[in-house]
Amino acid sequence: MSLDSASGKTAQPMSNPGTTDAVDRMSLTRFDMIIDVRSPAEFAEDRVPGAVNLPVLDNEERAIIGTTYVQESRFLARRMGAALVARNVARHLEAALKDAPPTFRPLIYCWRGGQRSNAMALILAQVGWRTTVLQGGYKTYRRNVQRRLYDEPLGFGLILLDGNTGCGKTDILKRAAARGAQALDLEALAQHRGSLFGAMADAQPSQKWFESSLVHELSAMDPSRPVLVEAESNKIGKRTLPPALWQAMLTAGRIELSAPVDERVRHLIEVYPEMIADRELLDAALTRLDVYPGRKQLAAWRAFADAGQFEDLVREVVERHYDPSYLSSSKRDARPRLATIELGSLSVTARDSVAQRITEIAGAP
């Protein structure tokens, strides 16, 4: 105990931040907020899922401090950094944290669990909040992700949804998940629909954030039950499936879906309206086919687009490119076929019915 000279009252000892190195999903739920104090650029590349970015140095400030450290002196860089950190933490206390109650329990991390996280944690602890610093910072978290996806088996049995392009696999996967099946939507996590017209409006995440999202999704699932996954190549757009997941997919059983080509064509046009709306996007997509169609074929497809004959265009691409490719790969596919489901149509009712059947195969509770 010490005497507060201003009030004459006995003051309580100042609180110090605690530490943890646990980054599993259950451990992280103990905290009211996970605070990433790194710069916005670092946060954008990857972060602990659910974390809030309250940087103690922004992108420009971090660059200035780094340059000062290298070109002038360590002392000057630390003095400048301390002033900037103090101002930024004050701003967060007056904004993002202004309504946090006395029982608030934050977890704070920076790149390595060093000066940036400890500077903010010390101040928050003095406020009276039960503050914890992640030992080793983001690098501790990243090592856990790498271990899960690169160094260990996945730990889940997978069931693949396979079939020709346009069979509604992604939609059926989501409908099965809504019925209680465990499902991993890789295209949603990669922000890419895995085909010629696959790019979504948002840019794809970084490889690291894609992997963080994968681990986060898997950590909420029951390893004793199978996980439905759409059959993919080892890349979705520019994102690569990590080894643990890819190896599990190479030996997984598959459910093969099929539907009439006319139904698939209509479904593709419904799912990819940008094919009609953006001619430049269409042209760019056609030239990115893994097997170049040739000048005459490409000219014919562009003529269909010029005439507004999009069903003819999509049918040509499906029948001349995607179907032969799928047929060839399917003949070589040694993975066990658990079921073959033929859809007479791709109506909502038909997709619901197939999703229910798949849910039963996957043993949903």
Q: Which residues are catalytic?
A: 110
Which ranges in the chain belong to alpha helices (H)? 25-28, 40-45, 59-71, 74-94, 115-127, 137-146, 169-178, 186-190, 207-219, 243-250, 261-271, 274-277, 279-287, 295-306, 310-317, 323-332, 348-361
Q: Write down the residue that tokens 């103990």 correspond to.
A: 30
CB 325 within 8 A of CB 195: no
Q: Write down the residue that tokens 């099965």 correspond to.
A: 176
Upper half-sphere CA count for residue 323 (Cβ side, 13 Å)? 15
With vertex at residue 172, the alpha carbon angle to CA 156 and CA 244, rounded to the nearest 5 degrees, is 25
- DSSP single-letter state for residue 15: P
H or E segment and range at residue 2: strand 2-3
CB 15 within 8 A of CB 102: no
Q: How far apart are CA 11 and CA 258, in angstroms?
A: 74
Q: How far apart are CA 323 and CA 218, in angstroms?
A: 32
- DSSP single-letter state for residue 55: -
Q: Cβ-count burial of 243 within 10 angstroms (0-12 exposed, 13-18 middle, 19+ buried)?
A: middle
